[in-house]
Each structure stands twice: as C-alpha cells, then as structure tokens.
Amino acid sequence: MLEDFIETNKIAAEIINCAREVQSAKDVMGLLKVPLEKIAKTVLFIDSGANPVLIIQSGDKRISTVKVCALLNVTGIRLASAEETLEITGYEIGGVPPISIYAVKTIMDGSVAAQSEVITGGGDKLHLMRISPKAIQENVEGIIIGDVAE
C-alpha cells in the first residue's frame, strides 16, 4: 500500500526493512543510530467533533493537546485507539506513515518541517521510511504546519 503510493506519486522516499519490530522513536534511534529529532512520529487523534487528526511530531518532543486544540479551534482531542488507527489510516500503531492517508486533517510540527530528512513509520512495525518533510508536504493535501509541541 505505502510502496504503491510512493511509486505512483514518484516520491523520493526509501522504505527501510528492519530486522526486528520497531514501535517507538527510541527503538528507531537504537536501530538506525539517528538522533531523536530526526525521527518523525505520526500519531492519530480524534477531536471533540469526532474527526480524525493526524499529527507528525519530532521524536524528541511531545504533542501538546492544548496547542492542537487551539490550532484546530476544538474543545478537546484524544488519542485514537489501536482499532480506530487501523480503521482510519489503514495502518497499525507503530507503522503509521505521514503520507498515503486520505481525507484526514494532518498537522506537521514546525520542528519536523525544519529538518532536511526524517525517519517515519514505514507501513508496519518491520519497516521505516526515509523521506524529506518537503516531500511529505507535497503529498498531503491541506497539511497544516504549526507549533504543536509541548
């Protein structure tokens, strides 16, 4: 699914095969020997209007729900469940990429946008993806760049 999206859209991205499952930014840091700020986690939330919101945040930062609510002008957000994440994105938690997810509002933290290249979820727990934030922005319709870090 992700590889097809990359090929079809001619995106400069590399899928990395992992020898073991990776579920967190710290796992990625240990496996690839890259600093946390070069890792971009993609996390699904549900806002107070029951709308999904995908947030792309640097591995060395936490997502501020207060800042996300202010940016979206909603009263609250909650972390999506594993079931909701799979149903809405088509990917399991730990493998959610920042691209190839349709009709979901997406926010990229400015700290990610400032990087030349990041490592992200690659579709499942055994794959990662190397991609530029610019390529993410070019391939996510209506992406919002903002400060959503704690």
Pairing of strands 127-131, 105-109: unpaired
Structure-derived torsion over alpha carbons of residues 53, 90, 102, 82, reported in degrees to the nearest 10: -10
Q: What is the distance between the alpha carbons of residues 91 and 87, in angstroms, rounded to a whole number?
A: 8
Specify the pTM: 0.94
Q: What is the average pLDDT value for the chain, to the nearest integer? A: 94
What are the extents of the domains in the chain? 2-146
Are 22 and 67 contacting, i.e. CB atoms less than 8 angstroms apart? no
pLDDT tens by residue, 93-126:
989 999 999 999 999 999 999 999 999 999 999 9
DSSP-derived pairing of the beta strands 144-146 and 127-131: unpaired
Average pLDDT over residues 126-131: 96
Sign of CA dihedral 76, 79, 84, 89: positive
Q: Which fold has domain 2-146?
A: YbaK protein (3.90.960)
Over residues 41-90, the pLDDT tens digits come to: 999 999 999 999 999 999 999 999 999 999 999 999 999 999 999 999 99
